[in-house]
A and B are shown apart, each in its own frame.
Chain A
Amino acid sequence: MRAMLARLQSWEGFLTCVVIFVILYNTALTPQFMTMGNQINLFQLSIEKVIVAVAMTFVIVNAEIDLSVGSMMGLAACAFGWLVQQGVPAGAAIPLVLLIGAAGGAFNAYFITRVGLPSLVVTLATLIGFRGLARVLVEDRGITDFPDWFDRLGQQGLIGPFPLSLIVFALLIVAGHVLLAHTGFGRRTYVIGTNREVAEYAGIDTARHKQILFVASGTIAALAGLLYAARVGAVRGDVAFGFELDIITIVLLGGVSIFGGVGTMIGTALSILLVLNLRNGMALMNITGHIQTGVIGVLLIASVIVPRLSLRRRRQEAAP
């Protein structure tokens, strides 16, 4: 009983309650809410963001940040469009674009781990740089002439009603959870995020670890950019503009500490469920996007305050 109460007091417990409440409320209000179609649809509308949120969870637990993911999504989509326009077969363009993502991540990692600059600054610079590249590639045009199979992959169910992007997301978040919670790699992610010097003194190659995370973040952002291109069927220079903030919001709302070392993939998953259902529910109730954003903002502030309150209480009890 005590254990159950303790769990309820945790941020994850709180999120679970809110998610259940929101879903029940939405279902009561709009009967079509809980249909498979609507649920898939609400995921589909933000699927690229939630895919990147999985990688972002690792980055933030590691006490870093990657602001360049939105721009990388845009760059990947635009690079894909450009390559296809130049006559490169789409099947060959896909791995090339993923390589661009990895290279972009490696570029970030170089300046963060070798030059020693803060990731906030480095990825702010590449947020601008990657976006600039994307705009150079497609200029003011929109590119829409993708092969049919590519568009179908983005828009239709691959297995039953589930589109490819949703399957990719499901696989990524499960793999991400296992990696973070049950492997040595995950443990190192937490330790480095808690105290990098302690990790370094314990013989952990913290630079290499961060390099892996940033390369993965860039690659996954590029993959998300490709999925975006396939879903929308068109790319422009402003694809995924500003997405990084939504992604970071989801991760922080899931209880991941911006200071690193704290948070779980389950928290991120709950936060994804909450944000998507809340926005969808409010949209079904004809509440405008601005108010939706305001509600998410209030929740974000709560996500910072509530765990602190319970932490302080626990600290005091354990203090002698």
Chain B
Amino acid sequence: MSAPVLSLRSVTKRFGATLALDAMSLDLFPGEVHAIVGENGAGKSTMIKTMTGIHRPTSGMVEIDGDPVTLTGPHDARDLGVTAMYQEPMVFPDLDVAENIFISKTDEGLLQRPADLRRRAADLTARIGMRLDLDRLASQLTLAEQQAVEIARALSQDVRVLIMDEPTAALSAHEAEQLRAVAVRLARQGVAVVYISHRLEEIFEIADRVTVIRDGQHISTRPIADVTSETMIAEMVGREVDHFFEHVPSKARAETVLEVRGLAREGVFEDISFDLHAGEILCMAGLIGARRTDVALALFGIAPATSGSIRYKGSPFSPPSPRAAIAAGIAYVSEDRRKLGLAMPMSIRANITLAKLSDVLSPSGFLRRRREIEIARAFRERLNIRAADVETAVENLSGGNQQKVMLAKWLTVKPDLLIFDEPTRGIDVGAKAEVHQLIRDFVADGGAALVISSDLPEVMAMGDRIAVMREGRLMDILDNAEATQERVIALATGQAPMQEAS
């Protein structure tokens, strides 16, 4: 084997009293896809940040080509060929693809020759094997294409170590596949690709080696052939976890909570019809852009439907605002924690009580702090939210715990219908199982849950019935027993015809 391009040598990183990395050692070789797995909070982000110079190790060192280096920041790391990319691609929406690729090239002076630029951009996109129209504005690209632009940009700067942090978390199945192909291709060209993902099936598909970390410590590094998902999960959580994704049927009751008939919003979705019963989980599967969230937003009163009808608990219902929907007992847990779900700088307490502030107000409108703290603590206990106390700012929590805070907020309104949009995106295996259990508990108590998910194993595990959408239309509704992943994908990608409503 050739010499490692980047190595961590016993790197320790402390934040005050917290030990984020504990004597971490790791070698990255040119030409490998090196997957790194671990629960949220295991230290993956901190590790990346020491590789890219955002954090400096408390002790230990980072070596590039065997020489110790002191990285003073991302710019410094990039100069040495180390680049990280994240879920949210950094692109400039009003610039075209070629301009985006060369945005940080400043060494050729002010006058860039557009023709030359375009030719080199074409070379780079060819290298990553994705066809991109160089004249398109970045704002018109899909998320996967934007990420490709970011990778091309890294290539233009002679990247040697490319760190991909959850690159596919927000992508549809097809887009994720494209991106994985890009990762493999880059590795074959000699780049060391660090691939971080919670989707274990991806890792088995593309990784050459897997490193498991837990609690800031290096647990193992093995060739992919030597691990199974069971051993990997066991090492991640430090215990045996079984039957994550086995379907446990809920007990649907006779009572119909929601009857949707021919619902449409001009130009967005059309002819959506389904029933949802108390005690049942209906999963909505589909690719990104299938307009599942738009259906949810119509039910929640954010962007009302323009035609069709909704009957909720037996009577006609068309919420003009989220307020009206909440008052009727509908909760919508958004897929976008940061923008729509949580007031990030505010405390766990303030976030949990937000949707039903009236519960913690005296009749004259004063906050009853003690009651507020009691409610927040009770939910922290019940949902196992891991935080020092309920005054912790939500932005300091891991993704899984943020997700639980959001769920707690909506449970305070005691909903009859819970719409959960991408409940476990970007959260770790342990937290995922907990969130699944919380949704099951919710329906076991007689609630109805509509779960939108792009994660197929999750859809298969959670959905008593599975509604598949494609480009604003409902393709079919499958019973769990008759559904297979292949069937769902076929419907979602249009490989199987739409079922006529009987």
Chain A residues close to B by CB (< 8 Å): 182-188, 190-191, 194-195, 197-205, 261-262, 316-320
Chain B, Cβ-Cβ closest to A316: B15
Judge whether A187 and B350 touch: CB under 8 Å: yes
Q: In the bound complex, do residue B18 and residue A320 qualify as a contact, i.e. CB atoms below 8 Å apart? A: yes
| CB-based contact B334/A320 at 8 Å | no
User: For residue B327, which residue of chain A has the nearest CB?
Assistant: A203
22 pairs of residues in contact across A and B, judged by CB atoms under 8 Å: A182-B367, A184-B361, A184-B367, A187-B350, A190-B350, A194-B344, A194-B346, A197-B340, A201-B322, A201-B332, A202-B326, A203-B321, A203-B323, A203-B355, A205-B323, A261-B345, A316-B15, A317-B15, A318-B16, A318-B393, A318-B396, A319-B46
The proximity string for B residues 322-366 relative to A, scoring 1 for CB distances below 8 Å and 0 otherwise, is: 110111000010100001111111100010001101101100011
The answer to whether A183 touches B346 (Cβ under 8 A) is no
Q: How many residues of B contact A (CB 8 A)?
A: 39
Closest B residue to A198 by CB, please name it: B343
Q: In the assembly, what is the distance between CA of A188 and CA of B367, in Å? A: 11
> Provided the pairs A202-B409, A203-B322, A203-B355 are in contact, do residues A197 and B346 lie with their beta carbons within 8 angstroms?
no
- Give the Cβ gap from A255 to chain B, nearest Cβ, in Å: 14
Which 6 A-B pairs rank lowest in CB-CB distance, beginning with the nearest?
A: A320-B20, A317-B16, A203-B326, A203-B323, A194-B343, A184-B361
- For window 398-413 of B, CB contacts with A under 8 Å fall at 409
Q: Which among A187, A191, A262, A320 has the highest number of chain B CB atoms within 10 Å? A: A320
**B341 touching A201 by the CB < 8 A rule?**
yes
Known: A184-B365, A187-B350. A200 touches B15 (CB 8 A): no
Q: Are A187 and B366 in contact, with the CB atoms below 8 A?
A: no
> Is residue B81 contacting chain A, with contact meaning CB distance below 8 A?
no
9 more CB-based (< 8 A) A-B contacts, given A186-B367, A202-B322: A182-B367, A184-B360, A184-B365, A185-B365, A197-B339, A201-B302, A202-B409, A261-B345, A320-B41
A183 pairs with B367, CB closer than 8 A: yes
Please, which residues of chain B bring their CB within 8 A of the CB of A316?
15
**How far is it, in angstroms, between the C-alpha of A261 and the C-alpha of B394 when the chains are bound?**
14
Contacts of A197 in B (CB 8 A): 339-340
- Complexed CA–CA distance, A286 and B144 (Å): 66
Q: Which of B323, B342, B361 contacts A198 (CB 8 A)?
A: B342
Interface of B is mostly: mixed
Residues in B neighbouring A187, C-beta threshold 8 A: 350, 357, 367
Task: Provide the bound-state CA to CA distance between A205 and B327, in Å.
Answer: 13
A191/B15 in contact, CB under 8 A = no
Instruction: Find the A residue at minimum CB distance from B334.
Output: A201
Least CB distance, B259 to chain A, in whole angstroms = 23
Q: Specify which chain A residues have a CB less than 8 angstroms from the CB of B344 in the assembled complex.
A: 194-195
Task: Please name the residue on chain B nearest to A262 by beta carbon.
Answer: B345
Q: Chain A residue with minimal CB distance to B332?
A: A201
Q: Is B447's CB within 8 Å of the partner chain A?
A: no
Contact A319 B15 (CB under 8 A): yes
A184 to B359, CA, bound (A): 10
Write out the residue numbers on chain A whose beta carbons fall within 8 Å of the beta carbon of B396. 318-319
A317 to chain B: closest residue by CB? B16
Binary contact readout B401-445 vs A (1 if CB under 8 angstroms, 0 otherwise): 000000001000000000000000000000000000000000000
User: B472 contacts the other chain (Cβ, under 8 Å)?
Assistant: no
Whether A195 pairs with B367 at a CB distance below 8 angstroms is no
Interface residue? B279 (CB, 8 A): no
Q: CA–CA, A261 to B346, complex, Å? A: 9
Are B341 and A190 interface neighbours, CB within 8 A?
no
In the complex, A319 Cα to B21 Cα: how many Å? 12
